[in-house]
């Protein structure tokens, strides 16, 4: 449940932050007539993301066992690749995201309502598709039960609440610190998802070593507090193959070291090129508009 909660929180907050910045820009720039187009783009992006998740689920459900394992293993590897790229991209972009989105919205306004719709659709849709892609193998790895799905829902709901408070100026959040902490957590989760994907490919007889176990802790109660903790956070179970463990460590250690390493000076020092864009010396915050249109926060 913790894995899916953190994934939902992280990805959901990125989407909520994007919407908050775009909405603030429209309100402060007196483009309130474009707000319905913004919400339409957000709504379509959410629908497409849910549809993508449903396609993944039902596609897998209609496959044979070997095909299911191969499908799950390949998706796990693809999802880890996307998430790894995302956490490193956000590490660099978290301090300038407001200025970047402002420039894009300025360009979108020149195209009218359709431009605003498309900007919101692409910005939120990217986060939604990434979330669906990463949650699928994570939910598979966590097993059956309502807990993992509930964790994802709670994470997304919490992100929406934080995004609303950011927009209203009720809270201040250091985005660079937040994304650094949650990014490190996602890397740990991604290592487990990658190892789970390797196991799936071993089950499908695509990779060797299914019966070569690194450990087999007979009698270990996975429902105990320590079993739940290890499985829920680190995705470590009572049985893991040697190849799973090697993959887990080979991904986790170098990726975490690179992620926690400070950015080069060329990436941390810059001058804002547009009003409202934050430099790398301060994490961006949202300034609420002085007037809020009716229904603007729904």
DSSP secondary structure, 155-167, as one string: HHHHHHHHHHHHH
pLDDT at 58: 85
Distance CA 156, CA 150 (A): 10
Which of 203, 239, 193 is closest to 70 using CA atoms?
203
Distance CA 58, CA 73 (A): 16
For the chain, the distance separating the N- and C-terminal CA atoms, rounded to the nearest angstrom, is 28
Distance CA 90, CA 186 (A): 12
Phi, psi of 165 (to 5 degrees): -65, -35
Distance CA 251, CA 137 (A): 17
Give the CA angle between residues 253, 258, 259 to the nearest 5°.
Answer: 100
Among left, alpha and beta (phi > 0; psi -120 to 50; other), residue 240 is beta
Burial class (CB in 10 A: 0-12, 13-18, 19+), 89: exposed
pLDDT at 189: 86
Helix (H) or strand (E) holding 143: none
Residue-level pLDDT, tens digit, the chain, 298 residues:
667 788 888 888 888 888 888 888 888 888 888 889 999 999 999 999 999 988 888 888 788 888 889 998 999 899 899 889 988 888 877 667 777 777 878 888 887 888 889 988 988 888 888 888 888 777 776 665 677 778 888 888 998 888 888 777 756 767 778 788 888 888 988 898 899 899 999 999 999 998 888 887 766 555 555 666 666 666 777 788 999 999 999 999 999 999 998 877 655 444 333 333 333 333 444 444 544 443 444 3
**What is the reported pTM?**
0.73
Distance CA 82, CA 286 (A): 27
Burial class (CB in 10 A: 0-12, 13-18, 19+), 233: middle
DSSP secondary structure, 144-202, as one string: SSHHHHHHHHHHHHHHHHHHHHHHHTS----HHHHHHHHHHHHHHHHHHHHHHHHHHHH
Q: Tokens 């490193």, residue? A: 88
As given in the structure block, the two tokens for residue 229 are 């903790």
Largest separation between any pair of C-alpha atoms in the chain: 66
DSSP secondary structure, 243-272, as one string: HHHHHHHHHHHHHHHHHHSPPPHHHH----
pLDDT at 242: 94
pLDDT at 144: 58
């Amino acid at each position: 449940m913790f894995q899916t909660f953190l994934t939902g929180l992280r990805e959901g907050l990125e989407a909520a932050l994007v919407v908050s910045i775009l909405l603030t820009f429209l309100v402060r720039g007196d483009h309130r007539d474009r707000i319905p187009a913004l919400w339409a783009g957000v709504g379509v992006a959410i629908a497409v993301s849910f549809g993508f998740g449903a396609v993944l689920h039902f596609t897998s459900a209609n496959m044979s066992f070997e095909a299911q394992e191969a499908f799950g293993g390949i998706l796990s590897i693809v999802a880890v690749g996307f998430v790894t790229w995302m956490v490193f991209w956000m590490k660099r972009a978290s301090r300038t995201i407001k200025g970047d989105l402002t420039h894009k919205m300025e360009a979108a306004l020149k195209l009218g309502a359709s431009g605003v719709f498309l900007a919101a659709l692409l910005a939120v849709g990217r986060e939604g598709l990434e979330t669906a892609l990463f949650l699928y193998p994570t939910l598979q790895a966590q097993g059956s039960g309502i807990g993992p799905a509930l964790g994802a829902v709670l994470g997304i709901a919490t992100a929406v609440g934080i995004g609303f408070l950011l927009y209203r100026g009720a809270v201040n959040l250091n985005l660079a610190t937040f994304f650094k902490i949650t990014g490190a957590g996602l890397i740990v989760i991604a290592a487990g998802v990658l190892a789970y994907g390797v196991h799936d490919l071993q089950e499908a007889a695509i990779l060797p070593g299914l019966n070569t176990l690194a450990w087999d802790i007979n009698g270990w109660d996975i429902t105990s507090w320590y079993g739940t903790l290890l499985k829920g956070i680190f995705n470590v179970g009572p049985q893991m193959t040697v190849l799973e463990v090697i993959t887990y460590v080979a991904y986790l250690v170098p990726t975490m070291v690179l992620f926690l390493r400070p950015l080069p000076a060329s990436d941390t020092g810059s001058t804002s090129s547009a009003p409202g864009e934050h430099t790398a010396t301060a994490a961006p915050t949202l300034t609420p508009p002085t007037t809020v249109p009716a229904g603007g926060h729904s």
